[in-house]
Chains A and B, each alone.
Chain A
Amino acid sequence: MSATVYTIRDSIKNLPKNIRSSVVRPVEGTQEQARAAAVFGNVFLHIHPARVHENSLRFSYTLGLGLISFYLFLILSVSGTLLMFYYTPSTQLAYHNMKDLEYVVSFGVILRNIHRWSAHAMVACVFLHMCRVFYTGSYKAPREFNWVVGVCLLLMTLFLSFTGYLLPWDQLAFWAITVGSNIAAYAPWIGEKIRFVILGGNEVGQMALIRFYVLHVALLPVVALILMGIHFWRIRKDGGLSRPAAE
């Protein structure tokens, strides 16, 4: 820093400006450079490149399905976090907590339905997003690896959906997970062991509920977020959104 001596008065006077310049990087240069820097310097705008091909912007080409899936993930994260304030992963309480959310908690029923319908919509959108990528040939080189990351993200979405299914602890939840974990048990050699570990026992009980809860609220979302980071970064590194050749 310069050797200029500031008085306390000056420091206070400059405080808002200093805070602002610490958040938004000061830009010097031509007007074009300043515009570009505004994008480069902003993490939210930086998700998109400074220049986008005309054909990439055609909505009918991507239908925005990937971005919609991401927004649904954000909605699910927010509504899920709020639901956690009223939910206890215990076989004694879970069902009553869910009922309380529906009948007692202010806006609880809206919150629960937002979470539920967004979850259904996310599975649908991720699936449709994959269809779009497939039918437009966007999985081809150099985007093969990002397709693989996308498949992992589809699995994360399905695992999140499956683990969330048990949490209301009603008859539907119990039998769905009984059936689902028995499907896992059909895997050759280690199937029975997988079933035992994911349920934390031989039947769907307290151990299964807490395991599914931890997977649903902590482990799987974090893995999904990391994969999303890689997914979005690879879109840029693989040459931006795939697009029809110039007409």
Chain B
Amino acid sequence: MELNHCGGAATMPGDVDEGRRKFVKKVTVATLALGVGGVALQTGRFLNPNVLYEPARAFKVGELASFPIGSRIVIEGRGVEIVREREGMHAVSLVCTHLGCLVKPVENNPDVGYACPCHGSTFALKGEVLGGPAPKDLPWYEMYMDHTGAIVVDTSKVNRERTKLVV
């Protein structure tokens, strides 16, 4: 019996080896999918920056003496406010939880502590949402005093328990 190049039974000229076609098609599609998928994945890796030239998330805000009891001091360019009360101090984020605008501290109002100029969200003195579209309270960030006596705020760590730094 004559064998064709696939080792199968001889076929008439013009006959189509369906099994062979399916196999070739599968291999082609799989190779293509692998290639395109790989390119997409690596392009994603390429677009994801490995180094950020941004301000550090943890930064010094000053000596303890520059935050007298009863003061609320905005750290310019950092989007945090340092609040010092008799019981201790905390750092509250000024970045609106709605869409990231900077909220403005409201002075001399026992109910409203912060108001957002963009879409009108308001927050209480401790940062809880009072009204407007903001979905979450303003977070508090971890803060500590380093060995030089400077107060450090770490915006990469949220103080979920809302504990105050006692000094």
Q: Is B47 engaged at the interface, CB distance under 8 Å to the other chain?
A: yes
* B118 contacts partner chain A, Cβ-Cβ < 8 Å: yes
Interface residue A175 (Cβ < 8 Å from any Cβ of B): yes
* CB closest chain-A residue, reference B55: A203
Residue A164 at the B interface, CB < 8 A? no
Residues on B with C-beta less than 8 A from A183 are 99
CB-based contact A182/B47 at 8 Å: no
Whole-angstrom CA separation of A48 from B6 in the bound complex: 53
Tell me which of A150-158, A193-201, A224-232 binds B. A193-201
Main secondary structure of the interface of A (DSSP, over half): helix
Q: Is A90 part of the binding interface, using a Cβ–Cβ cutoff of 8 Å?
A: no
Number of interface residues, chain A, beta carbon within 8 A: 15
For B50-93 the 0/1 string (1 means CB < 8 A from A) is 00111000000000000000000000000000000000000000
The interface size of chain B toward A, counting residues with CB under 8 Å, comes to 12
Question: Is there an interface contact between B101 and A196, defined as CB atoms closer than 8 Å?
Answer: no
B88 to chain A, nearest CB (A): 28
Measured between alpha carbons, how far is A37 from B91 in the docked complex, in Å?
76
Contact of B54 among A175, A182, A197, A201 (CB under 8 A): A201
Report whether B47 and A197 are in contact in the complex, using a CB–CB cutoff of 8 Å: yes
Against B, the Cβ 8 Å flags (1 = close, 0 = not) of A181-195 are: 111000000000000
Check A49 for interface membership: any CB of B closer than 8 A. no
Q: Which of B49, B53, B100 has the most CB of A within 10 A?
A: B100
Contact of B118 among A179, A197, A206 (CB under 8 A): A179
Whether B108 is near chain A, meaning CB under 8 Å from some CB there, is no
* Contact partner, A201, options B44, B52, B99, B118, Cβ 8 Å: B52
Q: Which chain B residues lie closer than 8 Å to A114 at the CB level? A: none
Given A175-B118, A201-B54, A203-B54: A182 and B49 interface contact (C-beta under 8 Å): no
- Residue B4 at the chain A interface, CB threshold 8 Å: no
Q: Which B residues lie within 8 Å of A178 (CB)?
A: 99-101
B48 beta carbon closer than 8 Å to chain A: yes
Say whether A205 contacts B54, CB under 8 Å: yes
Q: Do A200 and B101 form a contact, CB below 8 Å, given A175-B118, A179-B118?
A: no
Extra contacts besides A182-B100, A200-B47, A205-B54 (10): CB < 8 Å? A178-B99, A179-B99, A179-B100, A179-B101, A182-B99, A183-B99, A196-B48, A201-B49, A206-B53, A207-B52
Could you list which residues of chain B lie within 8 angstroms of chain A, going by C-beta atoms? 44, 47-49, 52-54, 98-101, 118
Residues of A within 8 A of B (CB): 175, 178-179, 181-183, 196-197, 200-203, 205-207
